[in-house]
Structure 1
Amino acid sequence: MPPHLESVFPKNEDSHATGGARIEVTPSRNQLTTSTTIATTTLPPRRCQGLDISICSILHHNVTSYPNLLGHVDSGAVEKDIIAIREVIDAECHPLAHEFLCELLQPDCRRAQVMSPSGVFEDQLLKPCRDFCEDVLSTCGRRLPPHLRLAIDCASFPSLVNGDECTAKPGCARELRVKGWPERVCDGVVDCADISDEDKCSGCSSESFR
């Protein structure tokens, strides 16, 4: 050991006995470096903001929040997947594929009304309804890139049947016509969760249905 360090790291005169052998312990060079700081990141509270993805201008709401329901942390991250998402929409694998994918990319955001357990007001995302998710993925799921498909867990989405608040299928009446069931629209029997198939029917006044 260099002489100038002997006063700092004197030899340990107390030795350890091991099986009859005596081993002297001397500080190593690595002991001169200590402490490692582990940084932790705390995400800020969720806040609603304006829509910023042009492909989702079809949505009826005008605010969203990040991270979205596909795990994108900002619009820049969305742009990396936008080509693959456009290909799914252009494939016309489901008449509501465009609406559903945009509900994941730019989900509706609700302003906080009550304080969270952590003591802050945090805005909340409104997820698509479970049946909406299952219906679209049944025909379009295989067209999505694996990392996006794995990010969508329909079973974890809220359900209108259970009375949960969620985004129902838009234009359900239109979907019935596309599928070849126009007779189900305005027949007096509700087929759509959003009651759109019995809304604005002939003989009914505004905001009423038969």
Structure 2
Amino acid sequence: TSIPSLPGISTMESLREAMPYFELILDSGCSQRARQFLCTLLEPECQPLGSSVTPPCRNTCKVVAEECSDFIINILDLSQIFKCDNYPDSEDECINLARGDQCFSKETSCGDGSCIPKRWKCNGVLDCKNGIDEVNCTTCNKYQYACESKDSCIPLEWRCDGNADCEDGSDEINCHQEEEMVMHSHASPCPAGELRCVDGRCITLQQICDGNKDCSDGADEANCRIQYKS
């Protein structure tokens, strides 16, 4: 028996083997959209005879894949389910699970009935069809830290000071590797608001955990609990 709606899982046996991993993802609470996404794949709506199953939309896959990346294991081809290019982007061909009367607590409304994660707002990418997520964005200067919610700036010296100054608490996330970089820094200081890599290169706080290895040893991307969307 084939499982046409599940990329990378083609038999009932492989589906049974994958179920514990699905349960792990759901139990972790890593994404508010995970249950909708997996249920749409595992229990698709009935279609007329001869019609193909309608999959979830690509954007929902991206949300779950980002938020649950720590639980997506490259085993039994399970990761194929979270390769979001496998899913259509047009709502004529897929189910937009992020469309409804209300958004989840970690989401923001596009104003057209659809929702996106708050972290996608003001990230330089038009995620809402109407582009409203890139309107009225706060621009921080080099002496300020941009809160992950993108709606406020705080002084750089408030970053990792033990107090959550951003409303979303993002200024106190991933502080461990910043402390390690300071401990391994060279005697010659970097400019104000920057940290020194082991190789002597200076980087800004915004370059830590941004998805790009700016230090030659990759220390700025080590032990990141979050990854910024590219």
Q: Give the TM-score range, shorter chain.
A: 0.3 to 0.5
TM-score, normalised to structure 1, is 0.44
TM-score, normalised to structure 2, is 0.41
Q: Which structure has the greater CA radius of gyration?
A: 1
